[in-house]
Chains A and B, each alone.
Chain A
Amino acid sequence: MQVDLRILRFDPERDAAPHWESYRVDAEPMDRVLNLLISVKADQDGTLTFRRSCAHGICGSDAMLINGRNRLACKIRVDQLGRKITVAPLTGLPVMKDLVVDMDGFLAKYRSVMPFLIADTPPPERERRQSPADRARYDDTTKCILCAACTTACPSFWAQPSYVGPAAIVNAHRFIFDTRDDAGDERLEILADKDGVWRCRTIFNCVDACPRGINITRAILEVSRAVVERTV
């Protein structure tokens, strides 16, 4: 089948502003948008620029705005989108070129919640014990691949770019609810800030966007509750 692919293009060395370009591409229903982008780059326009690596939804390189929703290009199929497909870069992060956005600010927010295990006691000879039930408490939030689809789908982030954003809260959750971690209070302190959890308006865009199926809103609610109670 033939697909009409519209892509928001921007080359800082040539363009004053982003503009739409259209391409006709031969596609199979099971093809993913990434296949289409690769085929345009190979056969029609070698300057088309996007990030990609794993091509199966695990590295987080290719989140973009596809038919109005944030999706990984390597995970969304043509048969889920139809014959007209539009692709644009993620909203709210500076565009470097075409579909490539500057991730530095996003990653700085991730780093701001201290996304690493902090244990006060010296490690034992063997593993620290953790029951399967305790392990399950934070299982969902270990799945994050830092693709930025959630944060850049969030109206609160668009309105207030200093908002730490759902991805950072998800990663804070992963440690706050880990029984081996002793720095939950410090993270809660950070997230109690005006740019922390309170900016969440439970709009659920993040949940729709997350390619890993993480229940982000629930994670944010659990963190918010912990901020209020200051107990984890």
Chain B
Amino acid sequence: MRIDHDALVVGAGGAGLWAALELARAGISTGVLTKLYPTRSHTGAAQGGVCAALGNQEEDHWEWHMFDTVKGGDYLVDQDAAEVLAHEAIETVIELEHMGLPFNRTPDGKIDQRRFGGHTRNFGEAPVKRACFAADRTGHMILQTLYQNCIKAGVHFYDEYHVVDLLFEGGEGGDGGRAAGVVAYRIADGELHTFGAKAVLLATGGNGRMFSITSNAHSLTGDGMALAYRHGIPLEDMEFYQFHPTGIYGIGILLSEAARGEGGTLLNSEGERFMARYAPKAMELAPRDMVSRAIYLEIRDGRGIGPKKDYVYLDVRHLGRAVIEEKLPDITEFARVYLGVEPLTEPVPIQPTAHYAMGGIPTDLRTRVVRDEMNTPVEGLFAAGEAACVSVHGANRLGTNSLVDLLVFGRRAGREMTAYCRAATLPAIAPAVEEPVRAELEALRTRPDGESPSALKDDLATLMMDNVGVFRTAPMMAAAVAGVAQIKERYTRVRVRDTGRVFNTDLLEARELGYLIDCAEAMATSAISRTESRGAHSRDDFPERDDVNFLAHTLAYRGEAGPSLRYKPVTITRFEPKPRVY
């Protein structure tokens, strides 16, 4: 079937929903396509909070927030973007409150705020209370509130439509073409639908499922990133992937940084607060890359806990029942349900877990997708949220800044697309444009023999976890590059076992595995080529940051013989790069 709208939003997490809301309020005909029911999106899993320099609890300024973001990202952040982020955070959080978000409150009824790693007062002096929160379900409340307001505004949803291709007019996206729509697979019956539009937003979230221990939902398979990549658009800074320090041991489910924000500590096998060795001032509230690395080093040096000496403890016992139950209820429940551990009386076993893609589809400040180091926009194509790289997170994202990113740049995307749609005409879509992707899906669905996609996916996740994780060496990354190439080759022979049309999740999981492989390829190649350590990219053979050669964003372009790389300068406005100590 053929369906036309002025604007299409792919993805109904925080970024997609806010964009859709702006478009609907402006009267632009908009369709939101989402492979999950909107409220199932992973934004709902965000726990800790969303930072904005409201100054409700103590003095704060957006310039301080901007500085923390730049420093936290190890100076790879584009500072004009960080300025937009920190500045507009304030009005977007207030607007969310007006939309109904049930923030926790101070005694005088204002939005309550708490501390979070890397957020400081007066350019690094001491921690500041900047994270606005709704218990430890801030993301859940953001997702619900935005979805509710989309219902109120009459947004048109296509629930359980899996976008499987992007359409362009006048050439590929990476080659001067203009976005023209998408092809989507309706999960309920396996029908392909062609959607035409003037403007398309990619807000498909992250790709954490390429790692074996991850906080990410099963659905986070990098679809939007891979689809853009397949159409000649580069992926930016893919080597920067965040490992969150406190994943539940063995499973990866996240225990929010809020636990440390409220005063939780990290202990090694000797019962020692080992962060004193790595970040004596910030201690457990140092940025995530540093804390994850510290855990890794403690374990490597034999101070891990457990039969395999491969985890450390998160301890909240001293916070007392009232704080734990009132401010950290979900986290407490996770420990009880998934580990059988009672945080009131026992420390909780944790290990770093794959959490957040700092890299993604490159965009400018107006959320327009750009295709080269000159920031040439791809007409009609936009990206926001975790799928995008604007870049506000640089080499390492600070806690809460992803939610800020969704709100600020989701809103900007909606406004930008509104203006674009008012001026643009509907592109022409050739007949039968969906045939190539139909053929790909049919080949996958009907291949008589071959390897199981789930086994191949496990191989990919183990390969990436072992070799492109918290700590990297040249031989490890070389193994990853070669291993991904092999997995990509094996992928051409996978066999789906469900050959039906109705709700064929076997087919879709196999399709998603292809997206993960594309993202892994870009990540491994970008990583091995960056011969320095910066933020989350930490290697033993190049332990120092190298601003002479690598104060630059990586752009990875797809090629038949593997990705080719280009570099683009970082935008520096207010803060000259300095050594990063906490």
Contacts and interface: CB of A to CB of B under 8 A. Distances in A.
Contact of A129 (B102, B110, B506): B110
B503 A47 contact: no
Contact of B218 (A52, A116, A175): A52
Contacts of B107: 131-132
A167 B34 CA distance: 23
Interface in A70-104: 75, 77, 96-98, 100, 103
Contacts of A135: 102, 104-105
A201 interface: no
Given A60-B40, A116-B148, A42 B452 contact: yes
A57 B139 CA distance: 14
A128 B340 CA distance: 40
B302 interface: no
A181 to B, nearest CB: 8
Contacts of A130: 105, 109
Interface stretch (B359-367, B393-401, B415-423, B493-501): B493-501
Contacts of B503: 49, 96-98, 100
B389 interface: no
A140 to B, nearest CB: 11
Contacts of B504: 49
Contacts of A47: 497-498, 500, 506
A60 B140 CA distance: 11
A116 B151 contact: yes
A126 B45 contact: no
Contacts of A203: none
Contact of B140 (A14, A128, A145): A145
B168 to A, nearest CB: 30
Interface string B95-120: 00111101111111111000000000
A114 B44 CA distance: 21
Contacts of A128: 97-98
A105 interface: no
Listed residue (B41, B108, B140) with the most chain A CB atoms within 10 angstroms of its CB? B140
A164 to B, nearest CB: 16
Interface in B170-228: 188, 217-219
A114 B505 CA distance: 33
A52 B42 CA distance: 12
Interface in B83-139: 94, 97-100, 102-111, 134-135, 137
Listed residue (B41, B148, B452) with the most chain A CB atoms within 10 angstroms of its CB? B148
A74 to B, nearest CB: 9
A30 B188 contact: no
B334 A56 contact: yes
A207 interface: no
Contact of B502 (A13, A52, A77): A13
Contacts of B148: 115-117
Contacts of A163: none
B455 interface: yes
Interface in A177-209: 178, 180-181
Contacts of B104: 132, 135
B496 A46 contact: yes
Contacts of B109: 129-132
B29 interface: no
A58 to B, nearest CB: 5
Interface residues on A, range: 35 or more
Nearest to A76: B337
A111 interface: yes
Nearest to A135: B105
Given A129-B110, A130-B109, A138-B102, A59 B502 contact: no
Interface residues of B, number: 58
B476 interface: no
A69 to B, nearest CB: 16
B36 interface: yes
Interface in B402-442: none
B152 interface: yes
Given A47-B497, A61-B36, A127-B110, A56 B152 contact: no
Interface string A30-61: 10100000000110011101111111111111
A221 interface: no
Contacts of B111: 127
Contacts of B278: none
A116 B334 contact: no
Listed residue (A11, A55, A107, A146) with the most chain B CB atoms within 10 angstroms of its CB? A55
A31 B141 CA distance: 29
A4 interface: no
Nearest to B149: A116
B100 A117 contact: yes
A142 B102 contact: yes
A222 interface: no
Nearest to A80: B337
B551 interface: no
Nearest to B110: A127
Interface string B474-504: 0000000000000000000000111011111
Interface in A1-30: 11-14, 30
B460 to A, nearest CB: 14
Contacts of A123: 98
Contacts of A50: 505
A53 B218 contact: yes
A63 to B, nearest CB: 12
Given A127-B111, A131-B105, A146-B39, A58 B506 contact: no
A60 B497 CA distance: 27
Contacts of B145: 117
A109 interface: no
A135 B39 CA distance: 22
B102 A58 contact: no
Interface string B37-49: 1011110110000
**4 closest A-B pairs (Cβ-Cβ)?**
A46-B497, A117-B100, A129-B109, A116-B148
Given A46-B454, A115-B151, 16 more contacts: A13-B501, A14-B500, A30-B339, A30-B340, A47-B500, A49-B498, A49-B506, A56-B253, A58-B45, A115-B148, A128-B97, A128-B98, A132-B107, A142-B134, A145-B140, A181-B100
23 contacts: A30-B339, A42-B452, A47-B497, A47-B500, A49-B506, A53-B218, A54-B42, A55-B217, A56-B334, A59-B217, A60-B39, A96-B502, A97-B500, A98-B503, A103-B37, A116-B148, A116-B151, A128-B97, A132-B106, A142-B134, A145-B44, A146-B39, A178-B100
